[in-house]
Amino acid sequence: MLEVKNISKSFNDNVVIKNFSLTIKDHEIVALVGKSGTGKTTFMRLINNLEKANKGSIAINDIVLCNTINDKIVYAKHKDTKKYHLQLGMVFQDYALFPNYDVLNNLLIAPLAQKIDTKENLTKKAKKILKDVELSNKINARIDTLSGGQQQRVAIARALMLNPAIICFDEPTSALDEETTNNISELIKKIAQDGTGVLIITHDKQFAKNTATRIINSNKFISKEN
């Protein structure tokens, strides 16, 4: 479960998010929709610890990334943020796969670095996940030989390797055709069915309608009631 409470973020004098709260439970798919420039990406970057909030608290399954005590925000120590990151999967808009590794090693590099399991077990797991995302035949393929849709599925598989409690998608349909969009929608539903909470940032309202269990408009970022 992701719990974001009273989060605020400004860039200099520009208030992007003010007192925004959001909870995502297991199995839930929340879509944040809204025009570009309304702070959707900033919100996702806050959750991913790629940007620091000015106020508020963020935690997944009680593992705290940041908390506000006496009006002052305190971030977890480096070692503890690692635990937090383990709870969270991220699928970047342009996938951010590692082009110098093949598909399998893109999946293995993070869990191996975090010493989650033996290489043998992790390879077994990777093969299973690749089967789930229908990429079994691409296990040793180079990233640059894959289509956009395939690369996205590798990015999803890479995030799933860490068994995240919450998985974030940044504009997952921006580079996909209609059929691939439907496929990704089904895949996201399946991920949520398996128990993961999902956060989707999108400007595609139809996709949000078809996929999400709850839709939030990003114009609520600067109002007080959420």
Partner 1 sequence: MNLFIDILPSLLNGLKTTLLLFIVVLIISIPLGFIVALIRIHAHKIITTIIQFYIFIMRGTPLLLQIMFIFFGLPYLGITLNRIPAALIAFILNYTAYYAEIFRGGILAIPKNQSEAIKVLGIGQIRGFLKIIMPQVFKIVLPSVGNEVINLVKDTSLIYIIGITEILRAGQTAVNTYATPIPFIFVGIFYLIITAFITLILNKIEKKI
CB 144 to partner 1: min, Å: 12
Contact status: 88 vs partner 1 (CB under 8 A): yes
Residue count (the chain): 226
* Binds partner 1 by CB under 8 A, chosen from 41, 48, 150, 181: 48
Contact status: 86 vs partner 1 (CB under 8 A): yes
Q: What phi and psi values does residue 171 have, to the nearest 5 degrees?
A: 45, 65
- Supply 100's token pair: 């110098």
Contact status: 208 vs partner 1 (CB under 8 A): no
Strands (E), the chain: 2-11, 14-24, 29-33, 55-60, 63-69, 72-75, 88-91, 166-170, 197-202, 214-217
CB 139 to partner 1: min, Å: 19
The SS3 of residue 142 is: strand
From 60-68, 89-97, 123-131, 144-152, give the range in contact with partner 1 by CB under 8 A: 89-97
Residue placing its CB nearer to partner 1 in the complex, 74 or 96: 96
Q: CA-CA distance, 152 to 133, in Å (whole number)?
A: 10
Q: Are 167 and 110 in contact (CB under 8 A)?
A: no
Contact status: 99 vs partner 1 (CB under 8 A): yes
Residue placing its CB nearer to partner 1 in the complex, 87 or 211: 87
| Binding positions for partner 1, rule: CB under 8 A | 48-50, 82, 85-86, 88, 90, 92, 94, 96-101, 109-110, 113-114, 158, 162
